[in-house]
Chains A and B, each alone.
Chain A
Amino acid sequence: MSAPSPLTVPLESIASCFEGIIPSTICSCSMGGTPNLTYLSIVHVLDNLHVGLSYQFFNKTRTNILENPRAQVVVVSPETSRQYRLDLRYVRTETEGPSFERMKIRLDAVASQSGMSRVFKLRGVDIFEVLDCGPISSEMHSEVARKTDYLQELDSFTERLAACGDLDSLLSTALETLASFFECPYSFVMFPDEERKHLYTGASRGFEPSGVGSEVVIGKGLLGVVAERHAAVRTTDWTREMILARAVRAAIENLGEKTLLEREIPLPGLPNVRSQLILPLVVGENLQGVLCLQDQFPGRFLATEERVLQIAARHLAVAISNIRAASPPSHKVALRNKRALSKRCSVVKHYKSDDSIFIDDAYLIKGIPGRLLWKLLQAFVGTGRMAFTNKEIRLDADLRLPDIKDNLETRLILLRRRLDERCEFVRLVHAGRGQLQLEVGRRLTLEEIA
Chain B
Amino acid sequence: MKRAKNSVFISNELKTFLESGISAVVGTRDVDLVPEITRVWGLQVSKDRKSISLCAPLATSRKTLDNLADSGEITVCCCLPTSYKTVQLKGRCIQKTDPSRADLAAVERHREAFGRMNERIGFPRQRTETLWRSELESSAVLVKLRFAPEQIFDQTPGPDAGSPL
Contacts and interface: CB of A to CB of B under 8 A. Distances in A.
Contact of A72 (B37, B73, B83): B37
7 contacts: A23-B23, A33-B33, A39-B23, A39-B86, A74-B37, A137-B59, A248-B159
Given A35-B75, A74-B25, A255-B159, A29 B35 contact: yes
Nearest to A298: B122
Given A39-B23, A138-B59, A139-B134, 5 more contacts: A35-B28, A136-B135, A243-B84, A244-B84, A247-B157
Contacts of B86: 39
A243 B123 CA distance: 14
Given A25-B37, A27-B35, A76-B131, A247 B156 contact: yes
B162 interface: yes
Interface residues of A, number: 49
Contact of B122 (A27, A57, A73, A239): A239
A169 B160 CA distance: 52
A68 B29 CA distance: 12
A240 B157 CA distance: 13
B137 interface: yes
Interface residues of B, number: 47
Nearest to B121: A239
Contacts of B71: 33
Across the A-B interface, give the 4 residue pairs with the lowest CB-CB distance, nearest first: A251-B158, A37-B77, A35-B27, A27-B35
Interface of B is mostly: mixed
A180 interface: no
Contact of A29 (B25, B34, B88, B159): B34
A436 B27 CA distance: 69
A72 B160 CA distance: 23
A104 interface: no
B39 interface: yes
A38 B77 contact: yes
Interface in B74-101: 74-77, 79, 82-86, 88, 90
Contacts of B39: 74, 83, 136
A111 interface: no
A252 B79 contact: no
Contact of A27 (B37, B130, B158): B37
Q: Which of A243, A248, A251, A254 has the most CB of B within 10 A?
A: A251
Nearest to B126: A81
A83 B75 contact: no
B76 to A, nearest CB: 8
B138 A137 contact: yes
Contact of B160 (A36, A80, A255): A255
A427 interface: no
A92 interface: no
B25 A25 contact: yes
Interface in B144-162: 155-162
A342 interface: no
B82 A31 contact: no
Contacts of A119: 158-159
A205 to B, nearest CB: 24
B138 A251 contact: no
A34 B75 contact: yes
A85 interface: yes
